[in-house]
Amino acid sequence: MKLSKCIDEAKGWPFAFAECDAEKLKVRVLLKDHLEDVARLSKLIFEERFTPAVVRGIDPRLFDKVDPAEVAYITGLIHDLGKASKYYLNSFTDRGRLTFPYHELVASVVILNAIDEYAVELEDHVLAVGDLVSKIISRHHSAMPSRHPLEVISGEGRRKQEMVRIVQAVEAMCDNLVVKFIEELLSKCGSFNVCSTILKLLSRHLKSSDGCERLARELHSLIARLTEFNRLSGMGEVSSEDTYRLVAIYTGILMVADNIVATKEGRLSDDRLSPLYVKHWMKELREIISKHST
């Protein structure tokens, strides 16, 4: 069954999720809706539960010019940006469900490559946030061992084949429809200046032939940088412990928000444990979710 036929005929690509039956689109979740919902919920969870823990003891250069809650929002807003790659139109299961293998790494390396390309034009805190966000996004499916950046760059056996697929997905991001989608997301940044700056940067980057060529050429080294905690772009050497703590906290928030939103959209993870976790998260975060729904 070719999902590409039923999806190409449907309005609203890109999707966060889609399922076809006999070449007819049966279920779809628009990516822009999913991203906005995860961004809003991530910000709410952060503000309600984590602000003091994140700010305490962290290098003041990072949060001196950016609200820590904005980092949670930005991460949620672009965490699935890799799904916009048209490469995934041909990535489907026998059950007719569209899948997005390694989309988190696709988004992460595009962000990292973009801040590298325009580093001389950007303020240090924007570079640092971009680097941090790329690390967070790269891990939001790391509960599946094969999806962790460290596993992907191991270069052993099947990993080499996966790298070829990731290159193809990354190259398909350099497309006018992806650029248009990113520009549409800009309105969701609201008053968050760093959010707007990063999205404009991504749009500009994916229009650049030089940037797109570098993405494929330096993919392995870009993924390797996602595993480094002793440096952040714009800040140079930083505390590995502090960076790891930030990545762990923000990744946890993103994973919780992502799973809750997916459940409310009427779809479940292939991970059998996710429904149990979501049930407990929704109970614990009942008030926050209620705020998100209003």
Note the pLDDT tens digit of each residue in 233-276. 988 888 888 898 889 889 989 998 998 898 888 776 655 566 66
Tokens of 85: 């790659």
Can you spell out the DSSP letters for 143-208?
TSGGGSHHHHTT--THHHHHHHHHHHHHHTTSSHHHHHHHHHHGGGGTT-HHHHHHHHHHHHHHH-
Most confident of 36-45, 151-160, 259-268: 36-45
Ranked by mean pLDDT, which of 55-69, 71-85, 154-168, 244-258 comes out on top?
Answer: 71-85
Give the pLDDT confidence of 201-232 residue by residue, as tens digits: 999 999 987 777 888 788 888 988 999 999 89
| β-pairing verdict for 231-232 and 24-30 | unpaired
pTM of whole model > 0.75? Answer: yes
**Confidence at residue 254, expressed as pLDDT on a 0 to 100 scale:** 93
Q: Which H or E run contains 137?
A: helix 124-137
131 pLDDT tier (thresholds 50, 70, 90): very high
* Per-residue confidence band for 70, with pLDDT thresholds at 50, 70 and 90: very high
pLDDT for the residue numbered 141: 84
Say what the pLDDT of residue 130 is.
96
- How high is the pLDDT of residue 270? 57
Q: What is the rounded average pLDDT for all residues in the chain?
A: 84
Please give the pLDDT value at position 272.
Answer: 58
- Express each pLDDT in 274-292 by its tens digit: 666 777 777 777 777 777 7
Q: Collect all residues with Cβ–Cβ distance below 8 Å to 41 and sequence separation of at least 6.
A: 76, 257, 260, 261, 288, 289, 292
- Split at pLDDT 50, 70, 90, the class of 123 is very high
Residue 155 confidence (pLDDT): 61
Query: What number is the average pLDDT over the span 78-107?
Result: 84
């650029």: which residue's tokens? 179
- Give 50's pLDDT tier (boundaries 50, 70, 90): confident
Residue-range domain boundaries for the chain: 31-293
